[in-house]
């Protein structure tokens, strides 16, 4: 024996020389060794396999043994190499344990899992959940390809998936569809991992069936869209109706009242019987008030100025009227807008301004109202700011508050024409409403 043997087994050279090879075995392995030696042909070098040896202090080691016949001091002998592979075997055992655990995990996983070859998607293994998902027993799945099973509604996607799995080693959150045999098309969310099975590139896939969730989302999305379309339609119709009523009021009723007033004035100037003087004067006064009311109503519905003189003039006129009503100090920074603004944006901007000003007048108890309107870099900007009591916008978003549609309506109107509204307000710090509308480059 060499020094390495002495070091490794713990026996001294002298001790070794008094021993047989049976004595470096664990006692229970001796009979196996005897059987082995019976068949052993010591005439050629050979690999004698993996054995367990025991050191002097009782430690078991795994060894790989090679024997080679030689002549030693004139006698036939066997030169034996024992390679200690305990550590290597330990690692193998650990790996086997991991494999075992993986298999348990795979089989009992609550989500469908499968192992397929990468290119062909030939099924090598599936778990119970996968069988359930496909509605087929494993015998009907294993050794078939996904094409043979008709699982892929769009086989062209397979190539892209294969190449990205190859590139990154895995794919997660892959949204795809699978055609379940004898069933519906299912939406699934899958994770694919590139693995090697017997030197072959394979895919380990796990997935969840999200068909019902997607369906619910689709329904929710479609009703959101319908609701949007409906409220847009309502706003459009309302706008058209308002314009029509404003015009009627102004052109028909306003004209009629003016005619009545002119006639009454004529009567008053003529020879009126003394008893009728007061009633005629009273009538002129009443007709005057009616004309004013019709004008105000018509103006609130839709100022003719918006169509005739444009947005800045209409904003100015409306704000002045409202501020004057409650004695608010008004600062107006309303620029002439050089470029043409689409009609629906003008209307939306005017309505936002109208709601913001009405709110300031109604709720703010402000001293001063500041309005800015300008076109900057293709954006029409409206700012309505008051220095009143303010409010906490966060408290308004509860669903039960369906009464206050003013602020919501502002946002909606702006959105329908591609704009946005931002409302900033804090208790006792006043309120600022900012609206932005796209009116194209060059503004
Ligand atoms: N400028 C403001 N200053 C103070 N509080 C305001 C201001 N604007 C809005 N608010 C508060 O926000 C609430 C919601 O405003 P919103 O315009 O949505 O509804 P409203 O004016 O009460 O009713 P309407 O639906 O007729 O507009 C108001 O009731 C008010 O309490
Ligand atoms: Mg309001």
- If we measure between CA atoms, which residue out of 149, 154, 129 comes closest to residue 207? 129
* Ligand closest to CA 361: 1
Is 215 contained in some domain? no
- If we measure between CA atoms, which residue out of 346, 347, 292, 355 comes closest to residue 322? 355
What pLDDT does 45 receive? 61
Instruction: Give me the domain span that covers residue 76.
Output: 3-90
Show the tokens assigned to 328.
């608010």
φ, ψ for residue 79, nearest 5 deg? -90, 125
Note whether 316 and 425 are same-domain residues: yes
Pocket test for ligand 1, best of 300, 355, 361, 363 (most atoms within 8 A of CB): 363
Q: Cβ(374)–Cβ(333) under 8 Å?
A: yes
Q: Report which protein residue has its CA nearest ligand 1's atom 11.
A: 391
Q: Report which protein residue has its CA nearest ligand 1's atom 6.
A: 363
Note whether 200 and 227 are same-domain residues: no
* Ligand closest to CA 424: 1
Note whether 373 and 351 are same-domain residues: yes
Note whether 151 and 258 are same-domain residues: no
Note whether 329 and 428 are same-domain residues: yes
The C-alpha atoms of residue 36 and residue 24 are separated, in whole angstroms, by: 15
The C-alpha atoms of residue 383 and residue 333 are separated, in whole angstroms, by: 10
- Into how many domains does the chain fold? 4
Note whether 184 and 250 are same-domain residues: no
Note whether 153 and 263 are same-domain residues: no
Integer distance in angstroms from the first to the last C-alpha of the chain?
Answer: 98
Q: Report which protein residue has its CA nearest ligand 1's atom 14.
A: 404
Q: DSSP 3-state assignment of 310?
A: coil
Residue with tokens 């896939």: 205
pLDDT by residue for the chain (443 residues), tens only, comes to: 888 888 889 999 999 999 988 889 988 888 888 888 777 766 666 777 888 899 999 888 888 888 888 888 888 888 888 888 888 888 888 888 888 999 999 999 999 999 999 988 999 999 999 999 999 999 999 999 999 999 988 878 888 888 999 999 999 999 999 999 888 899 999 999 999 988 999 999 999 999 999 999 999 999 999 998 998 899 889 988 998 998 898 889 999 999 999 999 999 888 888 888 899 999 999 999 999 999 888 888 888 888 888 899 999 999 999 999 889 999 999 988 877 889 889 999 999 999 999 999 999 999 999 999 999 888 999 999 999 999 988 877 655 555 567 888 899 899 999 999 999 999 989 999 999 999 986 54
151 Cα distance to chain centroid = 27
How far does the centroid of ligand 2 lie from the alpha carbon of residue 153, in Å? Answer: 53
What pLDDT does 184 receive? 84
- If we measure between CA atoms, which residue out of 288, 364, 370, 373 comes closest to residue 326? 364
Is 214 contained in some domain? no
φ, ψ for residue 10, nearest 5 deg? 85, -5
What's the CATH number where 376 sits? 3.30.565.10
How far does the centroid of ligand 1 lie from the alpha carbon of residue 209, in Å? Answer: 46
Show the tokens assigned to 324.
């004057």
* Ligand closest to CA 409: 1
Note whether 139 and 169 are same-domain residues: yes
- If we measure between CA atoms, which residue out of 398, 393, 389 comes closest to residue 410? 393
Q: DSSP 3-state assignment of 157?
A: helix
DSSP string of 288-325, one letter each residue: HHHHHHHHHHHHHH--HHHHHT-HHHHHHHHHHHHHHH
Q: Which of 209, 233, 250 is the last residue of a domain?
A: 209
What pLDDT does 43 receive? 60
pLDDT tens, position by position, 288-312: 999 999 988 888 888 888 888 889 9
Residues with CB under 6 A from ligand 1: 359-360, 362-364, 386, 388-391, 396, 404-407, 431
Note whether 124 and 233 are same-domain residues: no
Q: Which of 90, 125, 148 is the last residue of a domain?
A: 90
Q: Which residues surround ligand 2, an ion (CB under 5 A)?
A: 359, 406
What pLDDT does 443 receive? 42
What pLDDT does 377 receive? 86
Note whether 29 and 137 are same-domain residues: no
What pLDDT does 119 receive? 87
Pocket test for ligand 1, best of 328, 385, 397, 406 (most atoms within 8 A of CB): 406
The C-alpha atoms of residue 161 and residue 114 are separated, in whole angstroms, by: 16
Is 304 contained in some domain? no
Burial category of 289 from C-beta neighbours within 10 Å (exposed 0-12, middle 13-18, buried 19 and up): exposed
Q: Determine how β-strand 368-376 pairs with β-strand 329-334.
A: parallel
What's the CATH number where 121 sits? 3.30.450.20
How far does the centroid of ligand 2 lie from the alpha carbon of residue 264, in Å? Answer: 41
What pLDDT does 367 receive? 94
CA-based torsion, 254, 258, 259, 260: positive or negative: positive
Is 95 contained in some domain? no
3-state secondary structure 333-355: EECCCCCCCCHHHHHHHHHHHHH
Note whether 323 and 428 are same-domain residues: yes
């Amino acid at each position: 024996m060499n020094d390495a043997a002495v070091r490794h087994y713990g026996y001294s050279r002298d001790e070794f020389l008094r021993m047989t090879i049976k004595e470096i075995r664990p006692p229970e392995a001796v009979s196996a060794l005897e059987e082995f030696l019976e068949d052993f042909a010591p005439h050629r070098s050979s690999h004698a396999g993996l054995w367990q040896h025991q050191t002097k202090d009782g430690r078991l080691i795994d060894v790989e043994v090679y024997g080679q016949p030689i002549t030693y001091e004139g006698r036939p002998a066997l030169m034996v190499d024992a390679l200690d592979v305990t550590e290597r075997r330990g690692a193998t055992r650990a790996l086997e344990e991991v494999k075992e655990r993986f298999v348990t995990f795979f089989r009992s996983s609550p989500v469908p899992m499968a192992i397929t070859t990468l290119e062909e998607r030939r099924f090598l293994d599936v778990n119970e959940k996968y069988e359930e998902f496909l509605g087929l027993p494993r015998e009907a799945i294993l050794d078939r390809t996904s094409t043979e099973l008709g699982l892929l509604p769009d086989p062209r996607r397979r190539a892209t998936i294969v190449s990205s799995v190859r590139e990154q080693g895995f794919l997660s959150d892959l949204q795809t569809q699978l055609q379940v045999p004898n069933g519906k098309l299912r939406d699934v969310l899958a994770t694919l991992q590139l693995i090697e099975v017997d030197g072959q590139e394979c895919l380990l896939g796990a997935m969840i069936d999200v068909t019902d969730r997607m369906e619910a989302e689709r329904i929710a999305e479609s009703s959101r869209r319908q609701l949007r379309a409906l409220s847009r339609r309502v706003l459009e119709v309302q706008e058209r109706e308002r314009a029509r009523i404003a015009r009627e009021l102004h052109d028909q009723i306003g004209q009629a009242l003016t005619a009545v007033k002119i006639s009454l004035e004529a009567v008053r100037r003529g020879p009126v019987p003394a008893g009728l003087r007061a009633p005629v004067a009273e009538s002129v006064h009443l007709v005057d008030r009616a004309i004013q009311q019709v004008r105000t109503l018509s103006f609130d519905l839709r100022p003719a100025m918006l169509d005739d003189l444009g947005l800045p003039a209409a904003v100015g006129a409306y704000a002045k009227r409202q501020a004057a009503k409650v004695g608010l100090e008004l600062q107006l920074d309303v620029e002439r807008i050089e470029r043409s603004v689409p009609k629906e944006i003008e209307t939306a901007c005017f309505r936002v301004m109208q709601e913001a000003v009405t709110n300031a007048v109604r709720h703010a108890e402000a001293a001063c109202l500041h309005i800015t309107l300008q076109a900057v870099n293709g954006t029409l900007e409206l700012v309505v700011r008051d220095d009143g009591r303010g409010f906490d916008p966060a408290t308004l978003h509860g669903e039960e508050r369906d009464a206050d549609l003013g602020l919501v309506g502002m946002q909606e109107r702006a959105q329908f024409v591609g704009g946005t509204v931002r409302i900033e307000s804090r208790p006792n710090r006043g309120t600022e409403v900012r609206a932005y509308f796209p009116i194209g480059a060059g503004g």
